[in-house]
Structure 1
């Protein structure tokens, strides 16, 4: 048995020695940009590039199809690409996809710019989002696409802040194109005139490096290319590379959920009503705790999104008026005014043409209807309370009945609600007689015989 085991071991070693050595597969992380570029996308891309660099990946591939997005998020992604220790290739796919607005900036900033047939790039004109700044002030909003505007047509009209935003975007995209040795004149036209190109036209005008049918074709065309990464030149060897799609982690998914303007608005409403119910019923704890958490999360989402401060002011005013209706019923004037102010504020709070960063009309209608329902419920309770019989306080004593405890002449004492009161009356009452209170003066009751 020992000899048999030894022979098996020797045979296995012999087979291993005869086998051809297999190179380990090199994984290329694939990061996805689908839809508008926002805070969650920036967090996902920057973390993916950083992790790939720390893991020593040979390349990072960003597969992109975006209509544009927020300026701050775009710049955060570009900083991660420019400072990456490894090459970053951005691939606009699938066919029918686009790299518009912020996507054009990201594509031009990448070490390798590639597109699939049937895609397009461009339309990168910035448009101020939110309330316009004062003349001479720095732009405070974010950027979005709006081809056909005065700025897109190269007009010099507009406020100083708009001209600053346009010139800043032109200088930024030219610097990115020049850094990568790409067509800086077309990059300027993409911002100034909202120019766009198809994949083949972009390749012919030296805007991109590769037109690839799919990811495998892209890796094949990348093989042997020399890429400038920082001060070093890296020669790509894509032989044996394996693409591995990187899924967003739970933090990125949570950030994507709460930075949805519809979710942010709903969270703020839950927070406001939770605190309102807690103030109306101190000690319940549940409404106050849940409301405070939702309100803080909603405010965090607003801090990460471009907002119009006039819209936020109207929302705050609407909440204040609805709360005033609950505490000081005005039979609908304050409550309905609050609903109108809240609806107008929610409508203009996110001023953008990008669907992912607009409040959906059904959500806005549902929130407005819920607020109006709460106001009408408050009005109904207020009217009902005015018609109801008083059950406590001085007013409740008038009309109450009790029995005489002792009586002498026109005054004595009566027992009402378990209490002994001093009383007067125009008749001579006897002990135990049933009487009714007709008036109260200080701590003295005026009585009459009960029916």
Structure 2
């Protein structure tokens, strides 16, 4: 079929074009399912892929299209193989499109893409850095032939075609879907130039709201920052002697961060350093001035942050925000807030002038005296020390 022009296609869940041509088709066109695979493939996303394939099989879908933008997985080789088997053994065709521009498919996710019936890469997207093959028996020969060259490098849309992994350019998801087996289209001649438009409806599926949140919480940056913020707020709430907004928010953030760190490949010793860092800061927050523990805590925070994850790195922006934000907040900001919260007002002390007080302990230059049963900090205006229990006059 030759076309004068090919426009960018917009795929709708129930396009009017399908209804306008019911008389021209003996059967309704098959529905194609598009599944969003974004972020690290964790337990939630792995289950979602399998459920979506099962649902497509039950509905008699024309095929499942994985729309991929992922740098890897955090589910382990055994679970990754189970997902690959669900793709390989599916009763409906499973395809993969890595896009849009700027997207990537790396690590175990790249191997899942290679296990599909047909794959394509958008302009500006990357595919590769697969690492050691986890399920070579489920991968097609065309991929096994070039797999050694993709272990530690990525290729663009042209590279995928040159390697024989894709057969055509697919700058958008619409162009990719248009030429899939069973996907129906027609020529629209209502405009100045004929345009090829889709007839087969496309059904987009994504994670539910709660699962989407949990999936996002398991991202490396989110888990790291939530853990630190939660711990800092809990320490602040502890020293303010109450259960308020900071405590509730801190507990929620800490739980979210702990969940994310449990899902991700976290180094236990690095996480322990972050805990030591927060405890060290807490010691000097109580003192009110940065001392040895603040230095130890900062060193632990830096080392723990740099080596927190095994096999993946946190962006430098996240590291700067986490390290500087927590260190400055714990060394300077939090002691100031606590002093303001519990500090005695400096206004209205004239009423004490001339009153008699009692030294709470031996005082040489500065100390605490008891005024009407309440402790007050005081400064001695003579060179001789004052013994505990001695009466003094406030001037």
The normalised TM-score by structure 1 is 0.58
Please say if residues 336 and 375 of structure 1, whose CA atoms lie closer than 8 Å, have aligned partners that are also in contact.
Answer: no
| Paired residues of 2:39 and 2:219 also in contact (CA < 8 A) | no
Aligned to 1:186: 145
Residue 450 (structure 1) shift: 9.3
Aligned length: 321
Structure 2 residue corresponding to 1:375, chosen from 319, 331, 345: 331
Hey, what does 1:276 align to over in structure 2?
Answer: 235
Tell me which residue corresponds to 2:161: 200
Over 3 Å counting, the alpha-carbon distance change for 1:76 and 1:272 in structure 2 is farther
In structure 1, how many angstroms separate the alpha carbons of the residues matched to 2:103 and 2:228? 36
Matches of 1:116 and 1:270, distance apart in 2: 38
Tell me the SS of whatever aligns to 1:124. coil
Shift of 1:376: 2.9
Q: Which of 46, 60, 65 is matched with 1:56 structurally?
A: 60
In the other structure, the counterpart of 2:28 is: 24
The counterpart of 2:253, out of the listed 294, 316, 322, is 294
**Contact 2:126–2:154 (CA under 8 A) maintained in structure 1:** no
**Mapped pair 1:113 → 2:69:** no
CA deviations over 1:90-118 (Å, ceiling 9, x no partner)? 234568865443243112322x1232586
Computed over aligned residues only, the root mean square deviation of the Cα atoms, in angstroms, reads 4.3
What TM-score, normalized by structure 2, do the two folds share? Answer: 0.65
1:88 aligned residue: 94
Q: Distance in 1 between matches of 2:44 and 2:218?
A: 8
Is residue 2:37 matched to residue 1:33? yes
In the other structure, the counterpart of 2:129 is: 123
Q: Comparing 182-191 with 243-252, which one deviates more in the overlay?
A: 182-191
Match of 1:232 in 2: none
- Say whether the 8 Å CA contact 1:332–1:375 is kept in structure 2: no
| TM-aligned CA deviation for residue 30 of structure 1 | 0.9
- Aligned ranges for residues 337-348 of structure 1 at < 5 Å? 337-348=296-307
Give the Cα–Cα distance (whole angstroms) in 2 for the partners of residues 379 and 260 of structure 1: 31
Unpaired segments ≥5 residues, structure 2:
1-22, 184-197, 350-356, 364-370, 375-385
Structure 2 residue matching 1:282: 3-state secondary structure: coil
CA offset at residue 188 of structure 1?
5.0
Q: Is the 8 A contact 1:117 1:211 kept in 2?
A: no
Larger Rg: 1
Cα distance in 2 for partners of 1:311, 1:449 equals 56
- Distance, in Å, in 1 between the alignment partners of 2:201 and 2:121 is 19
If asked which structure has higher relative contact order (CA below 8 Å, sep 6+), I would say 2
Task: Find the aligned partners of 2:127 and 2:318 in 1 and give their Cα distance.
Answer: 33
The separation in 1 between residues aligned to 2:160 and 2:293, in whole angstroms, is 57
Q: Does 1:175 align with 2:180?
A: no
Task: Write out per-residue CA displacement over residues 23-46 of structure 1, whole angstroms, 9 at most, x where no aligned residue.
Answer: 334321112335654556435433
Q: Give 2:168's match in structure 1, choosing from 208, 211, 219.
A: 211
Aligned with 2:314 (options 337, 359, 366): 359
Aligned 8 A contact 2:67 2:96 in 1: yes
